Amino acid sequence: MRLYLINPTNPLVSSVTAKESRWNRYRVWKPLSLMVLAGLTPPEWEVVIVDENLVAPDYPAMPRPDLVGITAFTSQAPRAYEVATYFRRLGVPVVMGGINATMCVEEVLAQVDSVVTREAEGIWPQVLADARQGGLKRQYDGGFAKISEFVPARHDLLPGGYAFGAIQTTRGCPLNCTFCSVTTFNGAQYRQRPIPDVVREFQSIREKRILVVDDNLIGTRPEHIAHAKELFRALAQANLHKQWIAQATINFADDEELLALAAKAGCRGVFIGFESPSPEGLRELGKKFNLLKGRDFRASVRRIQRHKILVVGSFIIGLDIDEPGIGQRIAEAASQYGVDTLNTLFLTPLPGTRLWDQMKSEHRLAFTAFPEDWKYYTLTFPVARFKHLSLDGIIQEMNACNRDFYSLLRLLRRVWSSLWQRRKPLVSLVGNLSYRNNSRVDCRTYAGFQRERRDSSGVNPMPLQTHA
Ligand code: B12
Ligand code: SF4
């Protein structure tokens, strides 16, 4: 029995257009969901993982599979449906799972033979057994996996060519920020995998650099942090010579022992969602953790950096409180906090989030020709109606933000301060140049996007603006 597990591409995502920037090698990430599914698949199935982000596959030249499994973020949905249609025409049954299948069940059911919602651990062997007998059901629900059901991912199945390996050590988040899908998708309960399993899986990854995909590596409670410290101790003791990057809340900075252990275990970078430069913005997004009284972001960032861990700061543009000038304000805040690189995204209502419900009920979804328009839901296109910013206005803000933060002067200052603090000036330089280059690519992409919208909607793109 031959099973293809496919990660569809989104041609609008810059990582696919590798020609645009040679640094994009560092932006093509392994599809861990499919590697985990492969780990859950019994040995009688021959599994092939196809990552369309790495190489464009020639499906007609490939042997006919008995079953196709497709994963997709919502932004990948249009391509996922194309791939599904291709294989269904050949008479091959197609199953789709992952975040988009979970959040848009009805839409996905119209495109494939079978949909698996939520996590696959508890249900995938059953789906495969049904497929073998030609009795696939239309819908399965995996629920939230128990810790005992977690399996190591098949790291052996993907070819080389990725700069980073990938691993997951925890799932779930109780914080339920308005724009984020994680609490609905993976549950509010924070689940941490057993430490020996994680260490063994780290050992099985061939890449020297690894992305830890957890949404918040350290959790929210003292017992989560104690577990994270144990994990870091075990990783350091195993002496793996791996370097890894992860996502965490700013609370990561609050515990010197945690930081020292993380660095010893190989942590070299952390992605932190600051989201908004103002407390009103944080309240609007429900990002309560960043609101702790007396939090000094600059000091927090500096504490992390002292352990030679780079900080990528993420912000969101387009909140209801954001007015013209917000782009510059974000660039200034990020510079003031001292982050090494800045990643600014458009506020995007993704299905299944609180923000989606709110914007939908207020008729503020601006791109609704679904499924085609899902391709714009990458957080790098303005797809909603913003309170104080028009479509042109918000794009100008984004460009101003990137121009300011990645100006040559600021960039050199950051690299110099990294050198002065004996951190990683070369990594800082490469990271900054990569972001600078991509923001230029984005500028051109926005210009094309604006032109396209103007052409398709008549004369001007202003209808997106909701207030005078
Ligand atoms: C790592 C990650 C990335 C990596 C992607 C690596 C990759 N190629 O997969 C990178 C950094 C590239 C990335 C990019 C983006 N991401 Co992202 N990402 C994540 C993150 C943090 C973890 C995903 C992961 O690897 N999980 C581990 C695996 C094991 O779990 P899983 O994917 O859920 O798979 C399980 C089940 O879903 C199920 N399953 C999955 N697929 C399938 C398929 C079948 C057939 C079956 C049966 C089951 C099944 O089985 C698995 C085991 O239980 C999630 C957050 C999250 N908690 O999901 C966000 C998340 C998926 N990303 C999100 C977003 C918005 C994006 C971007 C659009 C925007 C951005 N800039 O972040 C881009 C997408 C670009 C594009 N290609 O269009 C949103 C998606 C929301 C949505 N409705 O689509 C999420 C949920 C984060 C959030 N805060 O809301 N992301
Ligand atoms: S943004 Fe981060 S903290 Fe907020 S709900 Fe999502 S994963 Fe949790």
Six-digit token pair at 329?
A: 């304000």
Side-chain-side CA neighbours of residue 317 (13 Å): 33
Tell me what pLDDT residue 109 has.
98
Reported as a single tens digit per residue, the pLDDT across 204-241 is 999 999 999 999 999 999 999 999 999 999 999 999 99
Tell me what pLDDT residue 14 has.
47
Reported as a single tens digit per residue, the pLDDT across 299-333 is 999 999 999 999 999 999 999 999 999 999 999 99
Whose C-alpha lies nearest to ligand 1, atom 67?
378
| pLDDT > 90? residue 431 | no
Six-digit token pair at 44?
A: 């009688």
Tell me what pLDDT residue 456 has.
66
| pLDDT > 60? residue 71 | yes
21: pLDDT confidence band, cut at 50, 70 and 90? low
| pLDDT > 50? residue 137 | yes
Tell me how far the alpha carbon of residue 73 lies from the centroid of ligand 1, in angstroms.
6
Longest dimension (CA), the chain: 65
Tell me what pLDDT residue 421 has.
86
Whose C-alpha lies nearest to ligand 2, atom 5?
176
Six-digit token pair at 306?
A: 């002292």
Ligand 2 atom with least separation from CA of 289: 3
Pocket perturbation via mutation, ligand 1, pick of 73, 109, 127, 215 by most ligand atoms within 8 A of CB? 73
Q: What residue has token string 């190489």?
A: 55
Instruction: Enumerate residues lining ligand 2, CB below 6 A.
Output: 173, 175-177, 180, 182-183, 215-216, 249, 273
| 108 pocket-lining for ligand 1 (C-beta < 6 Å) | no
Distance CA 198, CA 231 (A): 8
27: pLDDT confidence band, cut at 50, 70 and 90? low
Side-chain-side CA neighbours of residue 142 (13 Å): 29
| pLDDT > 70? residue 408 | yes
Tell me how far the alpha carbon of residue 180 lies from the centroid of ligand 2, in angstroms.
6
19-to-15, 28, 52, 438, 442 alpha-carbon distances in Å: 9, 13, 16, 12, 14
Whose C-alpha lies nearest to ligand 2, atom 3?
175
CB atoms within 10 A of CB 170: 23
Reported as a single tens digit per residue, the pLDDT across 240-257 is 999 999 999 999 999 999
Reported as a single tens digit per residue, the pLDDT across 121-131 is 999 999 999 99
Tell me what pLDDT residue 378 has.
94
